Amino acid sequence: MENEPFLSLQSKPQLRPTVADDHHGTPSEIQDNSQIQRPSKKHGSLHRCKTAPAMAVMRDRKPKTPQLPKPKSESSTIIRQAFFLLSLYLLLGVAIYSFNRDEFSGIETHPVVDALYFCIVTMCTIGYGDITPLTPATKIFACVFVLVGFGFIDILLSGVVSYVLELQENMILTGIHIKKSQQGFSARNYIVDVDKGRMRIRLKVGLALGVVVLCVGIGTLMLYFLENLDWIDSVYLSVMSVTTVGYGDRAFKTLPGRLFAGVWLLISTLAVARAFLYLAEARVDKRHRRIAKWVLHRDITIQDLLAADINNDGFISKSEYVIYKLKEMGKIGEKDILQICDQFSKLDTNNSGKLTLPQLLENRL
């Protein structure tokens, strides 16, 4: 106990039986009094010493420099920026198209609907070819419009899709936590990785592919009833649209069809792109898990001992072994380790190689 610096500074309270000084009390009374004054102890319970410094007081101490605020989630900001910039983007495109209708070729239905339809088809990089620019000015406008739309607008809309998927994932995890606390084991543990706090990648791929099938199905039905196409052409145009191929042999020609396309194309093209992204993520995740399994189960060699021995003291400590394995798995890099060591050096002002409570309190004063 004397080797512990904080425990040695604390005064140890002693138990003193409260017994009367007079000698008239019987031994049984003295024994009863001592039993009353003796505190009851429960095995396995820990109690903080009354002379120890209160943690609340230590938390109230303000540091010399203000703490950096914790980074907040940017989901709500991305949502607001996405809707604002998308509205501005489409309004600008509709205005330019409406004032230059004679400089575009194609089937006309309604000026505003045609302008909105042209802007969304251009932004989604589909290119049916049913509405095309004719003059050099409108061609330059189309080039700038598609570059801007393919750039930051697509990024912001992808952020909106990610936010919606994260919100749905959090709702599923919350429901599973509640049911798990009430029922214990559930088959949904195979669907959601509760420990990691996320949906399993295979479920994400399945849901994404389901969304793709749903988008294609909705597009097929609406094309069949709104554009009066047969089932083969409806499926054909729906698939060519959600995959942003757009050969141009089929397109939306009616007013209701273009109104539907203005919303459906915007959602379905992003959903399909997200589905293929999840497919690529599943392949990468499978490769990372295979590498991690190999790293954890292979035998350590002399080369590993020399590489993991950071202090060059001839043996590997537990922390050195953890750092070495994390580097092998690719979860941490040398640059990350150097940044962490640099931050530790700034906190370790007396170069003792460890952080103590008095040292942290001194830095906060």
Full DSSP string of 159-202: HHHHHHHHHHHHHHHHHHHHHHHHHS--GGGGTEETTTTEE-HH
Q: In sequence order, which residues have a C-beta less than 8 Å from that of residue 194 and are 6 or more positions away?
A: 173, 176, 177, 180
pTM, two decimals, is: 0.62
Domain locations in the chain as residue ranges:
72-179+192-293, 294-361
pLDDT of 57 reads: 46
Percent of the chain with pLDDT over 70: 64
pLDDT of 302 reads: 87
For 289-341, the pLDDT digits (tens) are: 888 888 888 888 888 888 888 888 888 888 888 998 888 888 888 888 889 88
Structure tokens at 50: 């009354």
Q: What CATH number should be reported for the domain whose range is 72-179+192-293?
A: 1.10.287.70
Tell me the pLDDT band of 3, cut-offs 50, 70 and 90. Answer: very low
> Minimal CA–CA distance to 274: which of 168, 190, 188, 176?
168
> Minimal CA–CA distance to 256: which of 228, 237, 230?
228
Answer whether 219's CB lies under 8 Å from 268's CB.
yes
The pair phi, psi for residue 254, each rounded to 5°, is -95, 160
Tell me the pLDDT band of 222, cut-offs 50, 70 and 90. Answer: very high
pLDDT of 140 reads: 92
The beta strands (E) that lie in 28-183 are given as: 104-106, 131-133
For 235-263, the pLDDT digits (tens) are: 999 999 999 888 888 899 999 999 999 99
Lowest mean pLDDT among 49-58, 271-280, 355-364: 49-58
Find tokens 């004719």 and name the residue.
Answer: 134
**Residue 68, class by beta-carbon neighbours within 10 Å (0-12 exposed, 13-18 middle, 19+ buried)?**
exposed
Q: How far apart are the first and last CA of the chain?
A: 29
- At 27 the three-state DSSP class reads helix
Lowest mean pLDDT among 166-170, 330-334, 352-356: 166-170
For 38-53, the pLDDT digits (tens) are: 444 444 455 545 555 5
Best mean pLDDT range from 78-92, 119-133, 186-200:
119-133
Question: Is the pLDDT confidence value at 103 over 80?
Answer: yes
pLDDT of 180 reads: 55
